Structure 1
Amino acid sequence: MTNAGAEAELQEDGTVSDLVDDEAPATTEEEPTGPRAEWYVVHSYSGKENKVKKNLEHRAESMNMTDRILQIVVPTETEIEIKEGIRREVERQVFPGYILIEMIMDEDSWYVVRNTPGVTSFVGMGNKPSPLSQAEVNHIMSRIESDEPRVKVSFDVGERVRIIEGPFAEFTGVVDTLEPEKGKARVMVSFFNRETPVEVDFLQLERDT
């Protein structure tokens, strides 16, 4: 014998089994519905990216679209370059002529962005803007948020260079391979009359003039 809403019942073997109240609603976790924000790429005039970014921000604000146009980013990174033996850090654009926008895409938000002065087109197939994949977004963001400056590659494979630092300083050789992501090059130098591969940082090299 049980009461309404009882949670246990004595069985013949003396064990207790749980009862489920048939009237209790089952709880399920609902997935969020509605459009979600994604990252898109727009093309602008090269060299005018920051001005176009300001135009976009102003348009989103003045047309009450800040709930659908969320972030506008001109991707930049710090780069180390060496000129005439002098090392300096410069900020350069990762994708000249392009701007990233995190937005909820619909007719209104598309219209606001597309008709902003300086925006020439969305990147996509035909007239349909294509959102970036999450992997692409992660790669770009990790690159522009990195604290490690990149080293500008100022020479090519097959070019003759001089090593200016490290154990092989003053050796000359020919660039065999370049690894921009690591900031390193493999240079073939003549060592004891034999061609020997040496791995060095870009910052340890200069053109052999």
Structure 2
Amino acid sequence: MNPWYLLYCKRSEQTRATVNLNRQGVDCYYPKVTVEKMKRGKRVQVEEPLFPCYMFVSFDLEKVSFTSVRSTRGVSDFVRFGAYPQEVAKELIFSMMSQEDNDDYREQLNDLPTEGDRCTIQSGQFEGFDAIYKEPDGDKRSIMLVTMMGKQVEVSVPNTSI
């Protein structure tokens, strides 16, 4: 089993990068989610990447080099922690793959709060704080208005924390 790595792609070029990487024998995965958007004054269902500009890749290091992957059209670079690309746990990738095909998971993503809803953060450093949902951003994280020490502070927390 080949290790998985996280790539940072050029804006809106994940599909191009996937095509070019597949030609080199690289396995690519980027989870997608269906969201409702306004287009020409009408609400439409659109499928978009769950993590814009990011893609998970797996390849045989004896056949494909880091340099050739990094130099592929549509790819910016590997996400690194230090000098070398950081490996991503295989369990995380397989878990995302299995949940993406799960209808319950899709419903959970579509059941996000709407602007102005009051909620309580259930995990992370702000656990237990009351918050007001503001808006989702491109990374499917929620920007929350958290009441802390008498004033509101904007923080970004994962959707799984609300």
TM-score, normalised by the number of residues in structure 2: 0.58
Does residue 151 in structure 1 map to residue 110 in structure 2? yes
The corresponding residue for 2:118 is 176
Q: Which structure has the bigger radius of gyration? A: 1
TM-score, normalised by the number of residues in structure 1: 0.47
Deviations 1:60-87 (A, max 9, x none): 0xxxxx3xx3x1123212235699xx86
Q: Choose the corresponding residue for 2:18, options 53, 70, 85.
A: 53
Q: How does 1:74-153 map to 2 (within 5 A)?
A: 74-80=30-36, 88-105=44-61, 108-148=64-104, 149=106, 150-151=109-110, 153=112
State the Cα distance separating 1:154 from its structure 2 match. 6.6
SS in 2 for 1:101: strand
State the Cα distance separating 1:108 from its structure 2 match. 4.1
Structure 1 residues 52, 39: CA separation in 2 closer, same or farther (over 3 Å shift)?
Answer: same
Mapped to 1, the partners of 2:103 and 2:16 lie a distance apart of 25
Deviations 1:75-123 (A, max 9, x none): 212235699xx86532121110011112233584212211112211111
The structure in which a higher percent of residues are helix is 2
Mapped to 2, the partners of 1:95 and 1:178 lie a distance apart of 24
Q: Calculate percent identity across the aligned residue pairs.
A: 22
Matching residue's letter, 2:16 = K
Mapped to 2, the partners of 1:80 and 1:43 lie a distance apart of 25
Contact 1:45 1:119 in 2 (8 A): yes
Stretches of 4+ moved more than 6 A in 1?
none
Deviations 1:3-50 (A, max 9, x none): xxxxxxxxxxxxxxxxxxxxxxxxxxxxxxxxx401111111121111
State the Cα distance separating 1:152 from its structure 2 match. 6.4
Q: How does 1:10-49 map to 2 (within 5 A)?
A: 36-49=1-14
Q: Which runs of 5+ in 1 are unaligned?
A: 1-35, 61-65, 160-174, 180-209
CA RMSD, Structure 1 to Structure 2 (Å): 3.1
Contact 1:77 1:143 in 2 (8 A): no
SS in 1 for 2:88: coil
